Amino acid sequence: MTEIIAILNQKGGCGKTTTAVNLAAALAIYGKKVLVIDMDPQGNATTGMGIEKNKVTKTIYSVLTGETNIKDTILNTEISDLEVIPSNIALSGAEIELSKEVGYHTILDTAIEEIYEEYDYIFIDVPPSLGILTINCLVATDSILIPIQAEFYALEGMVDLLETIKLVERRLKSPSPIKGILLTLYDSRTRLGRDVYSSVKNYFGTSENIFKTTIPRNVTLAEAPSHGKPCIIYDNESSGSKAYLKLAKEIMDKDNSEGE
Ligand SMILES: Nc1ncnc2c1ncn2[C@@H]1O[C@H](COP(=O)(O)OP(=O)(O)O)[C@@H](O)[C@H]1O
Ligand SMILES: [Mg+2]
């Protein structure tokens, strides 16, 4: 069974791209076949996986506009079971262009159907907005992973985010359950870390949705993208790599027990 997971939070800098790249890489290292679809015009997931984003012309944008078949946009990475559909700044035009298309919100969903069966996991790195690109991601995905940065304003914008998810569920009849909330840049030893954990728990009314694994602040996670490598390849001993491997394990265990 393939599972599509969208990594979503309209807040910038909360670790969406870092999570998409490193969680995908970790699952590939555990033997899963994984695809990352970069839906952010900034193309950071593309760069972080070793692709020169300005040299590619077959991107997720050309899939959305109907110029390219999705199969022709898939690129290999340094990890054999990890592939990527790249993005670059061209995608920023899509918000306006797609709004003129009939049924614009299902374009990504329809495209993914063609390749769906090739993978165990497909991650979508969702852009930091609540526009047409994000709605396409929500329609296409099976579930949502929300990274939340441990900071004072951690939950700011969460109301709008959850409203958008509900709207897509209601209007487009496309349910996207929350796979889990991931605490990033997190330190349980600090007062701030503990405060953020309990406010997230209070907000969602339970800790059930919060991944047991948390991602610490780790400079190696921030350095790896400039070398075009997932952190796990760049330095597999770093605390960041270990955390994403642990998260991958937690997700595989959960999926196994649910599949039984
Ligand atoms: N756990 C972490 N420890 C240290 N730096 C991190 C961590 N997670 C992300 N970063 C860095 O913070 C910045 C924002 O992260 P990113 O994943 O790009 O966020 P988003 O995609 O949500 O905008 C990047 O420079 C990234 O390298
Ligand atoms: Mg990003």
pLDDT tens digits for range 123-139: 999 999 889 999 999 99
Task: Write down the pLDDT at residue 141.
Answer: 97
Q: Which residue's CA is the closest to the ligand 1 atom numbered 14?
A: 13
Ligand 1 pocket residue status of 217, Cβ below 6 Å: yes
Q: Which residue's CA is the closest to the ligand 1 atom numbered 6?
A: 222
Please report whether residue 192 resides in a domain. yes
Residue 77 alpha carbon to ligand 1 centre in Å: 21
Number of Cβ atoms within 10 Å of the Cβ of 206: 9
**Does the pLDDT of residue 79 top 80, yes or no?**
yes
Please report whether residue 47 resides in a domain. yes
Q: Which residue's CA is the closest to the ligand 1 atom numbered 8?
A: 15
Residues 10, 157 contacting (CB under 8 angstroms) = yes
User: Which-ligand-closest: CA of 219?
Assistant: 1
Please report whether residue 128 resides in a domain. yes
Task: Write down the pLDDT at residue 49.
Answer: 98
Q: Which amino acid is at 17?
A: T
Question: Region 94-110: what's the mean pLDDT?
Answer: 91
Terminus-to-terminus CA distance in the chain, angstroms? 13
Residue 186 alpha carbon to ligand 1 centre in Å: 12
Dist CA 53 CA 59 (whole Å): 9
Number of domains in the chain: 1
CATH code: domain of residue 59: 3.40.50.300
Please report whether residue 259 resides in a domain. no
Using most ligand atoms within 8 A of CB, pick from 17, 18, 238 the residue to mutate for ligand 1.
18
Range from 71-75, 151-155, 160-164 that averages highest in pLDDT: 71-75
Residue 16 alpha carbon to ligand 1 centre in Å: 7
CA distance readout (Å), 256 to 175, 251, 259? 21, 9, 5
The DSSP line for 81-102 is TEEEE---GGGGGHHHHHTTST
Please report whether residue 133 resides in a domain. yes
Task: Write down the pLDDT at residue 38.
Answer: 98
Task: Write down the pLDDT at residue 213.
Answer: 97
| 248: three-class secondary structure by DSSP | helix
User: Which-ligand-closest: CA of 14?
Assistant: 1
Ligand 1 pocket residue status of 148, Cβ below 6 Å: no
195-254 pLDDT, tens digit each: 999 999 999 888 999 999 999 999 999 999 999 999 999 999 999 999 999 999 999 999
Task: Write down the pLDDT at residue 260.
Answer: 64
Please report whether residue 36 resides in a domain. yes
Question: Region 20-34: what's the mean pLDDT?
Answer: 98
Please report whether residue 52 resides in a domain. yes
Please report whether residue 257 resides in a domain. no
Domain that holds residue 67: 3-247
167-193 pLDDT, tens digit each: 999 988 889 999 999 999 998 889 999
Residue 88 alpha carbon to ligand 2 centre in Å: 12
Ligand 1 pocket residue status of 23, Cβ below 6 Å: no
Taking all residues of the chain, what is their mean pLDDT, rounded to a whole number? 95
Q: Which residue's CA is the closest to the ligand 1 atom numbered 13?
A: 13
